[in-house]
Amino acid sequence: MTAEPSTMGMLDRYAEHAGADAIEQLRQLAGLLTGLKVVHVNSTRRGGGVAEILETMVPLMQALGLDASWEVIEGNEDFFACTKSFHNTLQGKMLDISPSLLRAYEEVNAANAERLRPVLKAADIVIIHDPQPAPLLSHCPERRGKWIWRCHIDLSHPYRPVWKYLRRFLLDYDASIFSLDAFAQPMPHPVYLIPPSIDPLTEKNLPLDPATARRVLEEFSIDPERPVLLQISRFDRFKDPLGVIQAYRLAKEFVPSLQLVLAGGSAADDPEGQTVVMDVRESAEGDPDIHVLSSGHYSDQTINSLQTGADIVLQKSLREGFGLTVTEAMWKGKPVIGGNTGGIRLQLVNHETGFLVDTPEGAALRIRYLLAERSRIGQIGEKAREFVRQNFLRTRHLREYMTLMVALTHGNADRIELG
């Protein structure tokens, strides 16, 4: 299969951001996978991280000559109620799921298997994303290809009864992929760790002209002439917004011109989130230099503008899987002060590409240091961007998927040579 000129253009555009070497590596791996039928299956075409990844991953695979496709299973209300409960319980919530919801889960998978069987049977590689379509394999006993279960959620402390139920659908897979070591569970097949990534070609991550970033800051009454600290996150206790305010206050004693922006999605459907917003507003009261932006999910362009316009970005989480906002800010050349927890430890190198902190006092110290030595902001930011370029762009994510595919499809070869 030869790539269309338009998709060749797509590879060139990635090369502009990820570097020509990253694309060359992809082409070498792809040489061993030409025409390979790869089918991704998830449960939604739009919304959420998995769909966002597949939206670019599948065309990239096609551009490299793989015969890649993306199927979406169709469910009913009970099915999605069940899988939502899976999501919560697998990430630690203790809740039993009713037999009727579990029945809906199994029936929906059986019905989808009928519809998808020809595609799944013909595939060389099937990548099943998350628990929703996991039982499809049990309906394809005559499978030809290798099946991979790709888990995007934090399985470090699952509610055991639910995990035990789900695990039996996964036993026959050929491999599993988790995002981080801490998220993985033991499986009876090889387990691979592939961290998430950001896409350099989305509106959130493309270089933005400084005038636009400035205009957006001014629209929110933020003064672009004075130093700006930014944390973008849902209003959630684990993101520690009150700790961020404390750090800002400690630093402001030494840098009176400092401003703080806390921006996050709407908390309308999350009662706990609303309480956190109220606590944040109360804590910020009386300080016109604290900007709490909590009205709605901000657009890619707004997020990009805030990240581009900030001097220092905080992600002072107390618990975090992989904090996308950390990588997004580093990609914009910003020094990030992150909580010393979870995936953030992997995302930045302490003192080199940012700072890891355990307390508001620690964060305040780093803020003061950076604002006193402004040249360090640029130096750290430059290293941060390069670190993301090498480790956390979509192209690295794809390289690891393709390496795994080479291993699974050439596993018996004495030697594997890249062209």
Instruction: Kindly identify the residues of this chain, within the stretch 226-245, that bind ligand UDP according to CB under 6 A.
Output: 232, 234
Q: In whole angstroms, what is the distance from residue 401 CA to residue 409 CA?
A: 12
Q: Give least dist CB 139 to ligand UDP, A.
A: 32
Q: Give least dist CB 171 to ligand UDP, A.
A: 29
By the rule CB under 6 A, 292 interacts with ligand UDP? no
Q: Which stretch binds ligand UDP (CB under 6 A): 210-218, 243-251, 317-325, 395-403?
A: 317-325
CA gyration radius for the chain? 23
Neighbouring C-alpha atoms within 13 Å toward the C-beta of 256: 0
By the rule CB under 6 A, 325 interacts with ligand UDP? yes
DSSP result, 249-314:
HHHHTT-TT-EEEEE----TT-HHHHHHHHHHHHHHTT-TTEEEE-SS---HHHHHHHHHH-SEEE
By the rule CB under 6 A, 338 interacts with ligand UDP? no
Please say which residue, 264 or 335, places its beta carbon nearer to ligand UDP.
264
Q: Which stretch binds ligand UDP (CB under 6 A): 30-38, 59-67, 142-150, 323-331?
A: 323-331
Please say which residue, 11 or 292, places its beta carbon nearer to ligand UDP.
292
Q: Which stretch binds ligand UDP (CB under 6 A): 158-166, 183-191, 296-304, 376-384?
A: 296-304
By the rule CB under 6 A, 295 interacts with ligand UDP? no
Start-to-end C-alpha separation, the chain: 17
By the rule CB under 6 A, 87 interacts with ligand UDP? no
The 3-state DSSP composition of the chain as helix, strand, coil percent (nearest 5) reads 50, 15, 35
Q: In whole angstroms, what is the distance from residue 137 CA to residue 146 CA?
A: 10
Q: Give least dist CB 298 to ligand UDP, A.
A: 4
- H/E stretch holding 231 reads strand 228-232
Q: Which stretch binds ligand UDP (CB under 6 A): 87-95, 176-184, 324-332, 407-415?
A: 324-332
The CA-atom distances, in angstroms, between 257 and each of 13, 205, 228, 285 are 40, 28, 9, 17
Judged by the rule CB under 6 A, the positions of this chain that interact with ligand UDP are 232, 234, 264-265, 297-298, 303, 323-325, 328
